[in-house]
Amino acid sequence: MLPTIEWRKDRVIMIDQRKLPVKEVYVECTDYNQVAEAVEKMIIRGAPAIGVAAGYGVALGLLKVESEENLDEEFNRIYRRLERTRPTANNLFWALERMKKTFKKNKRLSFSQLKKRMIQEATDIEREDIETNKKIGIWGKDLLKDGQSVLTHCNAGLLATAGYGTALGVIRAAFQEGKKVQVYAGETRPFLQGARLTCWELDKENIPVTLITDNMAGFLMQKGMISAVMTGADRIAKNGDTVNKIGTYTIAVLAKEHSLPFYVAAPSNTIDFNLAEGTEIPIEERDPQEVREIGGRCLTLPNVKVQNPAFDITPAKYISAIITEKGIVRAPYEKNLKGLGRKKNLRR
Ligand code: MRU
């Protein structure tokens, strides 16, 4: 399977997701600033993948520090730069905190051993993310039945993670088990993660995929062509409200109207237990040019006023279940998310 991101010979290598599916180009980052820019420019994107990049960014930053003097200040500078890249995905902040804990715990090591330990921690985050996604797949695959059509939004696949994917991981697991599932991928304006990335990665594995524009979902549901919706998440509040790619909320409301199950697949590090509800989650507003242009070509008035929120909030009442690596959680989310991992709360 293609790596989304990996550590190779003191560098961070990542596939340039802006260029897919036309070109498969890899970008090499030799310092933490380049990793931060890669996240900002969406060379790498998707909540878990951003978390992995942040871990490697910290490791790379410390590796390049030459003197042990002012090490805490150096660490904080690296941390703060990476923290500023994108505001919404919880996994970024989770990974940075994990790297900070490792740094603090291992400061008594020699400088060179500390650097190695930090690289090890970042590599562990990457490896664990793939294991987590496979567990999400195992829990979630029974929710999909042979012959069903699943609508997904954005890209919550191997490209959005260290590998395998969350929402697409569930679909992968069902497919690998022999179920004939087919996928409808919403194109996901304006960045087109669905059209460019989801179609690309599903096609590579011969998982049947049909592309639709975002405004076609309701009609397909009305026609009985969709059996279930499966998306990823960027941040989940403790009451289950879920922030995901812009357009997710619209699909969730439509799914409820058509009595279709709406599933969210996400690792538990996407849950932010500090936030009571979805309205507290910061929503990134991106460059207006992303809406005015497609592939660098302006499709409207060059200076037309634009709104470009990258994410929206799906209230928990629209979510049939949240599939995590620790089990499947259903309402009441406040209680059941808190008890995540305790056997009695897990249901298929
Ligand atoms: O702006 P992006 O491409 O980083 O947004 C990605 C999404 O919204 C995904 O659905 C989400 O991160 C889940 S990925 C497993």
pLDDT by position in tens, the chain (length 348):
457 999 999 999 999 999 999 999 999 999 999 999 999 999 999 999 999 999 999 999 999 999 999 999 999 999 999 999 999 999 999 999 999 999 999 999 999 999 999 999 999 999 999 999 999 999 999 999 999 999 999 999 999 999 999 999 999 999 999 999 999 999 999 999 999 999 999 999 999 999 999 999 999 999 999 999 999 999 999 999 999 999 999 999 999 999 999 999 999 999 999 999 999 999 999 999 999 999 899 999 999 999 999 999 999 999 999 999 999 999 999 999 998 877 655 555
Q: Residue 84 sits in which domain range?
A: 5-134
Nearest to 173 by CA among 206, 225, 211, 133: 133
Are residues 321 and 263 located together in one domain of the fold? Answer: yes
Backbone angles phi, psi at 324, to 5 degrees: -120, 175
Reported in sequence order, the residue ranges of 217-284 that DSSP labels E, i.e. its strands, are 228-231, 235-237, 242-245, 262-265, 271-272
Are residues 124 and 152 located together in one domain of the fold? Answer: no
Can you give the pLDDT at residue 339?
86
Are residues 199 and 234 located together in one domain of the fold? Answer: yes
Are residues 128 and 148 located together in one domain of the fold? Answer: no
Are residues 125 and 144 located together in one domain of the fold? Answer: no
Are residues 190 and 209 located together in one domain of the fold? Answer: yes
Q: How many angstroms separate the CA atoms of 131 and 296, rounded?
A: 37
Are residues 162 and 115 located together in one domain of the fold? Answer: no
CATH code for position 274: 3.40.50.10470
CB of 234 closer than 6 A to ligand 1? yes
CB of 4 closer than 6 A to ligand 1? no
Can you give the pLDDT at residue 3?
76
Q: 153 C-alpha to center of ligand 1: Å? A: 9
Are residues 14 and 151 located together in one domain of the fold? Answer: no
Q: How many domains does the chain have?
A: 2
CATH code for position 36: 1.20.120.420
pTM equals 0.96
Peptide bond into 3 cis (omega under 30): no
Can you give the pLDDT at residue 277?
98
Q: Name the closest-CA residue to atom 14, ligand 1.
A: 156
Can you give the pLDDT at residue 2?
56
Q: Look at residues 134, 157, 188 and tell me which one is the last residue of a structural domain.
A: 134
124 is catalytic: no
Token match 């009695």: residue? Answer: 344
Nearest to 196 by CA among 57, 295, 312: 295
Can you give the pLDDT at residue 346?
56
Can you give the pLDDT at residue 343?
60
Q: Which of 234, 241, 272, 312 is catalytic?
A: 234
